[in-house]
Amino acid sequence: MLSTFHGLETSRRALSTQQAALHTTGHNIANANTPGYSRQRVNFTQTEAFPSPGFNKPGIPGQLGTGVKAGEIQRVREAFLDMQFRAENNKSGYWDARHTSLSKIEDIMNEPTEDGLANTMDRFWQSLQDLSANPEDSGARSVVRQRGIALAETFNYTHDSLEAIQRDHKAQIGVQEKQINSLLTQIDNVNKQISSVEPHGMLPNDLYDQRDQLVDELSQYMNIKVERVASGGQAKDMAEGKYTISLLGQNGKETGITLVDGASLTKNQIEVNFDGADGSVNGMTFKNDDLVDLSVSDYNNFASDDQVTVNINDFMKSTGSLTAVIQAFGYDTGSFAGDEFESGNVEGLLPEMMTNLDQMVATFVAEYNDVHRAGISLSEIRGDLDDGFEGFDFFDFAEDGIDLENIQGAAKHLKITDDIKDSLDNIAAAKNVSEDGGRLGYAGDGGNALNLSDVKDEDLDFGGNSTTNVQSFYQGVIGEMAVDTNEAERLLRNTSSLRDSVEGNRQSVSSVSLDEEMSNMIQFQHAYNAAARNLTAVDEMLDRIINNMGLVGR
């Protein structure tokens, strides 16, 4: 026998469920412009029918429905699209940072322009050709000296500017290090909050959104893998659990390094080490050695004080913004022998550019000074110099010890010699015409000035890496940089396009559509009104039974 009040309970459930749906719709509308928010929906499920099967069931025809209930409030999210987005975001972050670094270097090199290094060198060669036509003219000599000073200062400025950019990159590495550590801490904290909610059978959707937004940001800096760990207890099947985030290497290779551990609810912290040659990056320290299992990789490392330091060279073929900035700043390719680091070569965009400039200057100066010493100056022609004089150098370095064997700092410290600064007559424009091994020249001869101008066309050995003239060597350096910049720009466009495409697909699933929410609001409102009208009808029936039955015969 059915209860007289059965209809009231059915309508009450309908009112309660439709009201929950309306509240969720309002929550979606309120967060339509909230970054990282995923729209939510109420999962409607039928309540158990009456009666339940059994020997003592009432004699009614079949089972009668008892209404509806709100099962769970679930966010609408596609995990596969999240994984795709983070992979593309990681690549885009790498190429964005690399393109930015190359663009800064291009701005410093300033080629091809009137103020670039190539044009400054051209003006210097031209001044030497002018001197060869007027070797005794003090004005022509003064122009050569000033063009030489301008060339040296241009090299100095270029090298100093590259060093300034390198310092900026070091500061940027520090900023990214702090940001990564902050993200890892926040993700771990959200994991802990989720682990305290899910075992009670609830879905903390807003915490899920907050965590995914943090993981999205982390993927820009480092190549990561996300795995889910169940919370246990009375957690629902659709609960997303806690995140375990691992660091990946080249081509998605496992590194054995866990950044956030969902099982133990602990986190790692990183520290970039600048102990390589010339202050370059040589390693990355992970502060929690319990989350580092290097048995799965062959990374060169050493452990001490409950932390593990891994050779940075092992990460440089991975992707992410942090990798790109370190590659631009410079890293040491050496390795650890125990807790001692044995330096190798320093590689990176900025170190390589500065090394090329140093090699160019050291090689050019050595050849130019050889030719200049072979010539005869007006001071020597007038007999102002002592016997046994072997010629003046034109260029010198502000620091001692710079030569073809030790080129470091050549561009930074290039200058003209004090001899040339003190007297224009010390510029060797005349050719040595002595036939007995002595030194003899004539004031009106500009042959050596012409030889000096021809240095630009001499094939020189630039550290064994290239045999060409100084202008071609510099053009090659600039050309390689331009190709790298164009390649970075192209890949940035491609990866950004793929990332945006995946993000568009993700938003089509997860974002709030105000038109759809308005439709849902009207739908749930009508259902609520209908349930209320049904409740009124049942109430009228009960009123008839309770208040109007039993009056016959009075």
Query: How high is the pLDDT of residue 547?
Result: 81
Query: Per-residue confidence at 527, pLDDT binned at 50, 70, 90?
Result: very high
Query: How high is the pLDDT of residue 390?
Result: 86
Summarize the confidence of residues 332-352 as an average pLDDT: 91
The radius of gyration of the chain from alpha carbons, rounded to an integer in Å, stands at 39
Q: Name the 3-class secondary structure at 100.
A: helix
Asked if residue 254 lies in contact with residue 265, where contact means CB atoms within 8 angstroms, the answer is: no
Which residue in 533, 495, 523 sits closest to 94, CA to CA?
Answer: 495
- Beta-carbon count within 10 A of 192 CB: 13
State pLDDT tens for residues 198-213.
Answer: 999 999 999 999 999 9
Asked if residue 131 lies in contact with residue 142, where contact means CB atoms within 8 angstroms, the answer is: no
For tokens 């709030």, name the residue. 512
How far is residue 199's CA from residue 235's CA, in Å, rounded to a whole number? 4
Query: How high is the pLDDT of residue 113?
Result: 83
How far is residue 407's CA from residue 429's CA, in Å, rounded to a whole number? 28
State pLDDT tens for residues 504-514.
Answer: 999 999 999 99
461 forms bridges with which residues in the sheet? 467
| SS3 sequence of 388-448 | CCCCCCCEEECCCCCCCCCCCCHHHHEEECHHHHHCHHHCCCECCCCCCCCCCCCCCCCHH
Q: Name the 3-class secondary structure at 364.
A: helix
Show me where the domains of the chain are located: 6-76+512-547, 137-164+349-480
Query: Per-residue confidence at 149, pLDDT binned at 50, 70, 90?
Result: very high
Query: How high is the pLDDT of residue 61?
Result: 66
pLDDT surpassing 80 at residue 235: yes
pLDDT surpassing 90 at residue 184: yes
- The continuous run of DSSP H or E covering 340 comes out as strand 340-342
DSSP string, 464-531: TS-EE-HHHHHHHHHHHHHHHHHHHHHHHHHHHHHHHHHHHHHHHHHS--HHHHHHHHHHHHHHHHHH
Output the average pLDDT for the chain.
Answer: 91
Summarize the confidence of residues 176-193 as an average pLDDT: 97
State pLDDT tens for residues 58-99.
Answer: 666 667 788 898 888 999 999 999 999 999 999 999 999 999
How far is residue 152's CA from residue 390's CA, in Å, rounded to a whole number? 24
How far is residue 550's CA from residue 539's CA, in Å, rounded to a whole number? 18
How far is residue 451's CA from residue 440's CA, in Å, rounded to a whole number? 16
Summarize the confidence of residues 540-548 as an average pLDDT: 81
Q: Which long-range contacts (CB under 8 A, 24 or more apart) does 493-498 make?
A: 495/88, 495/91, 495/92, 495/94, 495/95, 496/92, 496/96, 498/88, 498/91, 498/92
| SS3 sequence of 299-328 | CCEEEECCEEEEEHHHCCCCCCHHHHHHHH
Query: How high is the pLDDT of residue 466?
Result: 73
Asked if residue 408 lies in contact with residue 402, where contact means CB atoms within 8 angstroms, the answer is: yes
pLDDT surpassing 70 at residue 268: yes
Q: Please count the CA atoms within 13 angstroms of the CA of 19 that sit on its side-chain side.
A: 8
Query: Per-residue confidence at 336, pLDDT binned at 50, 70, 90?
Result: confident
Structure tokens at 292: 């580092």
Query: How high is the pLDDT of residue 271?
Result: 95
Query: How high is the pLDDT of residue 5?
Result: 76
Which residue in 244, 240, 245, 242 sits closest to 75, CA to CA?
Answer: 240
Which residue in 362, 367, 381 sits closest to 451, CA to CA?
Answer: 367
pLDDT surpassing 70 at residue 553: no
Query: How high is the pLDDT of residue 506?
Result: 94
